Amino acid sequence: MTDFLLVAWVSALIEISRVGSMFGLGRRWTPGEKLKLLFATYNGTRNTGADVRVEETLRQARYVLGAENVDFSVMTQNFDRTRGYFEGTRQVHLPDVYPPFLYREVRQNHGVIACEGSMFKSKFANALTTMTIGSLGIAAAENKLSLGYGGEAGHMDPLIERMCARFVHDSLIITRNPESQAILARLGISTELGTDTAWTFEPHPPEYGRRVLREAGWDEKTPVLVLCPIHPFWWPVKASMAKYLTSITTGAFKKSQYRTVYFHASGADVDAKYNRYISAFAKATAAFRERHRVFPVLVNMERLDARACHDVAAQLPGTPVFAADDYDMFQLVSILRQCTLMVSSRYHGIVTSMPAMVASAGVTMDERIRNLMVERGHQHLLLIVDDPELEPKLLNMMETLIAEADSVREGIAKTVVRNLKVLARMGTFLEDAVRRAYPEFPLRSGVFSWEDYLPPLSPILRDLVERYDSTPAALAART
């Protein structure tokens, strides 16, 4: 019922915006002013992957459209947790009860770029997908730029799916894989194939990550095995006024409360599945350490992963934990890139470590890591979180990482370079979308290479491009 009321509220605001646009309400861009764009996303929870995605989306959009021509705003739920992020961008507070905020903020801008990774799915929270649809829908209703950038679509509850089909059909969605394109195509939504936006991210230099690991007990010689576990079974988060009222009157449901009226899935079955998953991570790692000399560390890529990391660490005494609450995205990714091997249930744990060619495997709860492993050609390095034989299979997968490390790293390097080119192509889609919405906007003119659609690449990425770009022009240049 709470989801229904939220969907109805946001849907009504989109319809009101549509009527208002007929009478000239809502700000459209006019020549001579800066293009004001709102980046709709879910920052401020110290979700490293989400923060990295948005950081790079902003950098690329500013680079492609011209910093002198644009004025960007980005949503955050907590200013303290995004302090120092998104340079040159105004941060605006996204409240838990967000429909009035969306209606007000979208109308004050000339367009919306939605850049949440899990853009259209019910796996995590219908409220998040409703927010994305609302942002895009209001912008489209006012005939403004309405663009989804590097997102993913998965299973949506029928109510959310109908809302998506109704209000996103006038937007352009650039997905990060063909599977998401297929889902949205069935709903009549226009798409282009893109990728994730995190590939260009540049963390602190390697010296930072090495120093932090050294201070945690690393000898700078032993291979570092990084584990990124999560709590995969307490999703989706759902709004419940009944639980909220009960929690404030009796104290019940406090353990599963995410925030205000939003609650995680809970119960004996959830706890049992979670304990099996944590035990599999810990026991497989302990057995692997008996066979190989490695220095294990745990990284929680999001504040919500802290419990999982500490629960695994409790079964692996002395294992250091690096927490998103204690390290910002520039620090945490620097630490990840000094590792040798990775087993992760976090998609962006894998993505952000790939430029450093960390040999990685995934234990997935949804399609994101699965799609990435298929793209890499590493389906054998993928397990499912609720596999009844997770522990022995996880140990075997770690052995495979050791045995096939060189070929895995080569596949990773080629995937990074390929995705950089796809991300550059997304820059051309962005230009085209702005040109269609605002034909007089001063876009660049001339002939550009694919690299001209990316912000300046870091040395590590330039090196990968030079070594693994297999286009005829690149091969000719190397010879």
What is the DSSP-derived secondary structure letter of residue 217? T
β-strands 262-263, 238-239: how paired?
antiparallel
CATH of the domain at 399: 3.40.50.2000
Binned at pLDDT 50, 70 and 90, residue 478 comes out as very low
Domain end position, chosen among 180, 200, 220: 200
Q: Per the domain annotation, does 185 fall within a domain?
A: yes
- How many structural domains is the chain composed of? 2
Q: Per the domain annotation, does 357 fall within a domain?
A: yes
What is the DSSP-derived secondary structure letter of residue 142? T
Domain end position, chosen among 403, 418, 448: 403
Residue ranges of alpha helices (H) inside 121-267 are 126-141, 158-167, 178-185, 206-215, 241-250
One-letter amino acid at 88 equals G
pTM exceeding 0.85: yes
Q: What does the pLDDT look like over 424-435, one tens digit per residue?
A: 999 999 999 999
Range of the domain at 360: 206-403
Binned at pLDDT 50, 70 and 90, residue 73 comes out as very high
Q: What does the pLDDT look like over 249-288, one tens digit per residue?
A: 888 888 888 878 788 888 899 999 999 999 999 999 999 9
Q: What does the pLDDT look like over 83-92, one tens digit per residue?
A: 999 999 999 9
| Per-residue model confidence (pLDDT) at position 3 | 85
Same structural domain for residues 191 and 273?
no
Same structural domain for residues 165 and 214?
no
Same structural domain for residues 211 and 179?
no
Same structural domain for residues 193 and 213?
no
Same structural domain for residues 91 and 226?
no
One-letter amino acid at 325 equals D
Domain end position, chosen among 177, 200, 223: 200
Complete DSSP assignment for 277-344: HHHHHHHHHHHHHHHS--EEEEEESBGGGHHHHHHHHHHSTT--EEETTTS-HHHHHHHHTT-SEEEE
Q: What does the pLDDT look like over 139-181, one tens digit per residue?
A: 999 999 999 999 999 999 999 999 999 999 999 999 999 999 9
